[in-house]
Amino acid sequence: MTEMAHGTVIVQPGEAILSRWWRTVDRVTLTCIFILFAIGLLLGFAASPPLAERNGLMPFHYVLRQGVFGMMALSVMLVVSMLSPTQLRRLGVLGFFAAFLAVAMLPVFGTDFGKGATRWFSLGFVSVQPSEFLKPVFVILCAWLMAASQELNGPPGKTFSFIVAVCTVGFLATQPDFGQSALIIAAWSTLYFVAGAPMILLTGCIGLVVAGGVVAYSSSEHFARRIDGFLNPEVDPTTQMGFATNAIREGGFFGAGVNEGQVKWSLPDAHTDFIIAVAAEEYGLILVWIIIGLFALITVRSLFRLMRERDPFIRLAGTGLITLFGLQAFINLGVAVRVLPAKGMTLPFVSYGGSSLIAMGILVGMLLCFTRTRPQGEIGDMLRRR
């Protein structure tokens, strides 16, 4: 597929790759990502020492690991953003089959680390969560299939993508990992909608999701326990949700002060799933609003740039990727304030987690690649010529 994109850019003959990349990349989004990572390190200094103490490690053991994983993630992000959409499509399709195979092998070789869900491969010195890497390459494969279906005499790509989505969700549900399954369903539904799906089919998909939730509730104790806890009007103050809710309430507008928060001593996942509770307690609503604003800016800016895209594959893939990014942030924040049931999902670039950081680096690198300016002109230019 041809590389059509927005913006008019003068191509300099013989221009260096790095120079051309810097001139065409979305520097606002890039800056926001670096700020989010810096905030994550700042919060890591507050949230991780209690965990390190409980595990008999050096106080800043997890902060150092987060820094290492973060540098790897940012490096991968920059490299991926320099690729062409064609290269990215080919690597994404191959990456999907590798990640899907890894997820399929989890029931045999995976471990749950006592959390009730087999989501990781333990390598001794590090653990890997393959579902994190599956999400961005799933979007690439489905976007390619749907874009191909729009070509003259093209294959039934939408049907193929639906089969891929069902198989992917099926394997994720066996872990069980309903949070990642929800992200996969949301990403595919968004792609299907942008590709021009009729509303009746989307309504049917919503019905299938609801039916699947009912089945999961009746057959999975892990899933049912989380839903029951969410629906219970009384929040147990000794649970993670209770600690997080109290921390957000105690932080107020300006926070309790640096290193003055108490929730990190009670929450086992304060450095991952509930990192926003630490931010709210120690730095107050000001920092929380800054974090929310950064995620909102990245999401809205990327969508506006993609709206002017002419290449259907780039438009679909970019929209699916930003859906994953924005929705994961929304779910993490929603769980912390009890708007959503607990999902076990990290806050992109802020929470601790090697697999999450590196996979999110790949995802955002892909997004930056698709939103780079190219010389073919905007979709509006083509419409005005008609």
Question: Mean pLDDT for each 10-residue chunk of the chain (386 residues)?
Answer: 44 70 92 96 86 83 91 96 94 95 88 74 82 95 93 85 92 82 90 81 71 68 62 61 76 77 73 85 91 96 90 94 95 84 83 91 96 67 49
Element (H, E) at 41: helix 27-47
Centroid of chain to Cα 239: 26
End-to-end CA distance of the chain: 22
Q: Give the pLDDT score at 195.
A: 85
Q: At what angle do helices 130-149 and 157-173 cross, to 10 degrees?
A: 160
Q: Give the pLDDT score at 225.
A: 63
Domain positions in the chain are 17-379
Element (H, E) at 128: strand 127-128
Residue position matching structure tokens 């996979």 = 359
Q: How far apart are CA 377 and CA 63, in angstroms?
A: 44
Residue 344: C-alpha distances to residues 6, 53, 143, 272, 331 (Å):
37, 23, 27, 9, 9
Residues recorded for the chain: 386
Q: How far apart are CA 349 and CA 345, in angstroms?
A: 12
